[in-house]
A = this chain, B = another copy of it.
Amino acid sequence: MNCWFTELQTDHLKLSCRVKKVLCEEKTPFQHLAVYDTVQFGRMLALDDVIQTTVKDEFVYHEMITHVGLNTHPNPRRVLVIGGGDGGSIREILKHSSVEQATLVEIDERVIAAAREYLPEISCALDDPRVRVIVDDGIKHVKENRNTYDMIIVDSTDPVGPAEGLFGKAFYQDVHDALTEDGLFVAQTESPFFNQDIISRVFRDIRSIFPITRLFLACVPTYPGGLWSFTMGSKKYDPRQVNVLELPDLKTRYYSPAIHRAAFELPPFVAELVEQG
């Protein structure tokens, strides 16, 4: 079949995946949503024509946005995911036995519905009794829930459209206030090759609010350039001070105790982005 989904990764760069079947396509109140069955990556969720996750490579992103933070906090009991309606972050969070409640706050209920129907490998944990699914604006939720969460994960789309406010300083302050006194948060913060201004600004903003701010990296093949950044803001625990020899043995394919440490080693061109701030 010669049908291709094409993402305009930047104005001058396109990634195209051969499509076996279009499984669903709709205009939700927030965005254009589609699930494709692709040859290369299996089923794939795209929002506003941007690849969010695929069955074949989602493990990288979901393991790294969750376990680095969860293994930095000694006892994360209440965890919040903002965005992440596909459920992949929730699935990973539940691998930690300390977690008593994992709350998903997704603004677009159609994303959750599509993931439940077409991406069962990713959404499989959404019905777990420890999970609470709330359809609401994450910005509003953190404003209304002070001193509540041990960890918050900002599992958002790119900073345009519904996710724009999730990259702003006012939001990071609200995240700070929604965390318990030793809480921490992790956000996906775009590409070190193509979004250097965002990484620098976000890092500076988070560092002005949190005593410990750290950038780490992973390689997600379906994201522009592969190399992807995550930023952690933490009130007390430093992810680089974790004794990786004592970390639990999680069933993971990308994250490992050694990767926990290695992910914070930044190539000089990336380190520069967060030293200038």
A residues neighboring B (CB under 8 Å): 4, 6, 10-18, 38-40, 57, 59-60, 193, 217, 219-221, 223-227, 252-256, 258-259, 261-263, 265-269
Report the minimal beta-carbon distance from A12 to chain B, rounded to whole angstroms. Answer: 4
12 A-B interface contacts by CB (under 8 A): A6-B16, A10-B40, A13-B15, A13-B18, A59-B269, A219-B226, A221-B225, A225-B226, A226-B227, A253-B268, A254-B267, A258-B266
Q: A256-B267, A262-B265 are in contact. List 7 more A-B contacts (CB 8 A).
A: A12-B39, A13-B18, A15-B15, A59-B269, A60-B267, A259-B265, A262-B263
The answer to whether A265 and B255 touch across the interface, beta carbons within 8 angstroms, is: no
Q: Which 7 A-B pairs have the closest CB atoms?
A: A226-B226, A221-B225, A262-B262, A262-B265, A12-B39, A12-B18, A14-B16
The answer to whether A40 and B13 touch across the interface, beta carbons within 8 angstroms, is: yes
Query: What's the Cα separation between A17 and B252 when bound, in Å?
Result: 34
Instruction: Specify which chain B residues have a CB less than 8 angstroms from the CB of A12 in the assembled complex.
Output: 17-18, 38-40
The count of identical subunits is 2
Report the minimal beta-carbon distance from A250 to chain B, rounded to whole angstroms. Answer: 10
Query: What's the Cα separation between A277 and B106 when bound, in Å?
Result: 44
Query: What's the Cα separation between A252 and B263 when bound, in Å?
Result: 19
The answer to whether A253 and B269 touch across the interface, beta carbons within 8 angstroms, is: yes
Instruction: Specify which chain B residues have a CB less than 8 angstroms from the CB of A193 in the assembled complex.
Output: 57, 221
Query: What's the Cα separation between A17 and B12 when bound, in Å?
Result: 6
Query: What's the Cα separation between A220 and B39 when bound, in Å?
Result: 23
Instruction: Specify which chain B residues have a CB less than 8 angstroms from the CB of A256 in the assembled complex.
Output: 265, 267-268
The answer to whether A252 and B268 touch across the interface, beta carbons within 8 angstroms, is: yes
Query: What's the Cα separation between A206 and B17 when bound, in Å?
Result: 34
Query: What's the Cα separation between A68 and B109 when bound, in Å?
Result: 48
